[in-house]
Amino acid sequence: MPQLSEITNKIRESARKALESGKAEVVIGYRQGTIPLTTAPFFARTAEECDQLVWSNFARINLANYLSGRTGKVALVAKGCDARSAVGQVTENQILKDNLYIIGVPCSGMIDNNLVTAKEPRPISEAVETTDESITVKGGGFSTEIQKADVLRRNCATCVNRTPKLADELVGPEINGGAADDFADIKALLGKSLEERMAYFKDLIKDCLRCYACRNACPLCYCPICFVDETRPQWLGKSTDSMDTMTFHLLRGLHCAGRCTSCGACETACPVNIKVREFNRVMELTVQSNWRYEPGLSWDQKPPLTMFQTDDAADFIK
């Protein structure tokens, strides 16, 4: 049972070495959050600042998001999914491979706060975590232990790439994945009528505020100007009109096809708890079954939808 403090110490050590050796001018990792059940992305530039880096069961945000467009040398603290996104940033020419040093953290999954508050609805003022297997949440007159397995994020529960294999170093023993996402629910959904599918997705996004936290938390969404923000021409209305909102989510899903690593940052960022990944999962299934491609597992393979080959599957084009 790995102690979080052990991993934290190893991350700090690796971070200091990366800075000292000149492999990186900045280390992007996590620091303790200011409220319970959170961490915050943190940019360490000195040995002293490295002491603020931590490992946690709440390291949910995908730090590869901070890579695109960076020019200096950077070290990235990365879980399996984040490392795959970082590789994607390289294959999509957002950062030079030589400028990137990945401090890989084998990951046993991150906690979904909504599942925690479902189990312990009383206001939580403190969360204690010492291992990667359970947490204890405390509040006015209570202290409740919660097993991590019961409150894992959906994407973490079906993760098969827990160990960042393409990392420059690993700060802990390899962790193997469990059962992969079988997409049973998506397959069932795709078997339904067009109207039923539309109804499903309409209901899914009915609370969407169009704050674009999903997009902004996503390492794939690095376009300088997103199509929803274009003004000349303006592709989309800016109101809460359900068709405009749907168009945003559908197009984002398509833009991420074959690139999404199921890191779950979009769902973590969503302030109204929309299962944004449902759009991505449809595309993930599509890409996997048509091209047998999984993103971020090779330095030189390009996402299939950015390539054209004469033997590409074409039967999905109607």
Partner 1 sequence: MNNPYLPYPVRIAEIRVETEDKNLRTFKFEFLNPEDEGKFAYLPGQFAELSVPGQGEIPIGIASSPSEKGFVLFTVNRVGQVSSYMHNMKAGDVMGIRGPLGHPYPLDKLKGRNLVIIAGGFAVTTLRSTITYLLQPEIRPDYGKITFIYGARTPGLLLYKDEWMAWEKRDDIDVFVTIDREVPNWGYRVGFVPAVTKEVCPPPENTSALICGPPVMIKFTQPVLEEAGYQAENIIMSLENRMKCGLGICGRCNVGPEYVCKDGPVFTLAQLNRLPKEY
Partner 2 sequence: MTEYIVKQNALADFFKSLASGRRLLTPRGTGDKCKLGETPPDQVTLEYTNTHLSPKSLLFPQTERLMAFHNERDKPNGYVYQSLGDNGEPTVVFGIRPCDARGISISNKVFQNDRFTDPYWKGKIDQTVFVGLACDAPSPQCFCAAMGGSPFGESGLDALAFRQGGDLGLKTLTDKGAELIKAAGAQEANLADEIKKLEATAIEAQGVKADYKPIDDLDLMDLFKDPHWVATAENCLNCGVCTFFCPTCHCFDIQDEASERGGVRMRNWDTCMSWLFTVHGTGHNPRPTKTERVRQRFMHKLKYIPLKQDGVRGCTGCGRCVAMCPVNIDIRSVALKMTQTAPSPA
Which residue's CB is nearer to partner 1, number 114 or number 234? 234
Based on CB atoms, which residue is closest to partner 1, 183 or 212? Answer: 212
* Non-local CB neighbours of 231 within 8 Å, separated by 6+ positions: none
Interface residue list for partner 2 (CB under 8 A): 33-36, 38-43, 61, 65-66, 114, 117, 121, 123-125, 139-140, 209, 211-213, 215-217, 225, 229, 231, 237-241, 265, 268-269, 271-273
Six token digits for residue 93: 């020419």
What part of residues 3-32 is at the interface with partner 1 (CB under 8 A)? none
Output the furthest CA–CA distance in the chain (Å, rounded).
66
Burial (CB count <10 Å: 0-12, 13-18, 19+), residue 34: exposed
Please, what is the minimum distance in Å from the beta carbon of residue 36 to partner 2?
7
Distance between CA atoms of 271 and 214, rounded to whole angstroms?
9
> Tokens 């973590």 label which residue?
268
- What is the closest distance, in whole angstroms, from the C-beta atom of residue 77 to partner 2 in the complex? 13
- Among 232, 300, 317, 318, which residue interacts with partner 1 (rule: CB under 8 A)? 232
Q: Which of 162, 155, 164, 183 is nearest to 263 (CA)?
A: 155
Smallest separation, CB 209 to partner 2 (Å) = 5
Nearer to partner 1, 232 or 292 (CB): 232
Burial class (CB in 10 A: 0-12, 13-18, 19+), 118: exposed
Q: Which residue number, 114 or 306, has a Cβ lying nearer to partner 2?
A: 114
Q: Per CB under 8 A, does 318 bind partner 1?
A: no
In the structure encoding, which two tokens stand for residue 87, read together? 């590789």
Q: Is 303 helix (H, G, I), strand (E, B) or coil?
A: coil
The nearer residue to partner 1, 34 or 231, going by C-beta atoms, is: 231
Which of partner 1, partner 2, none lies near 211, with the C-beta cut-off 5 to 8 A by kind? partner 2
Show the tokens assigned to 303.
């996402």
What SS3 state is found at 43? strand
CB of 265 to partner 2, least distance (A): 8
Q: Classify residue 35 as exposed, middle or buried by CB count within 10 Å of its CB (0-12, 13-18, 19+).
A: exposed
239 in contact with partner 1 (CB under 8 A): no
Element containing residue 102 per DSSP (H, E):
strand 100-104
Closest separation in Å from C-beta 247 to partner 2: 14
Tell me which of 231, 239, 309, 310 binds partner 1, using CB under 8 A. Answer: 231
Q: How many residues bind partner 1 (CB under 8 A)?
A: 3
Closest contact distance (angstroms) between CB of 21 and partner 1 is: 40
Terminal C-alpha separation, the chain:
51
One residue of 114, 216, 234, 240 binding partner 1 per CB under 8 A: 234
Identify which of residues 86 and 287 has a Cβ nearer to partner 2 in the complex: 86
Q: How far is the CB of 248 from partner 1 (least distance, A)?
A: 20
> 77: part of which helix (H) or strand (E)?
strand 74-78
**233 cis-preceded (ω within 30 degrees of 0):** yes
CB 135 within 8 A of CB 148: yes
5 binds, among partner 1, partner 2, none (CB under 5 to 8 A by kind): none
Site residues (CB under 8 A) for partner 1?
Answer: 231-232, 234
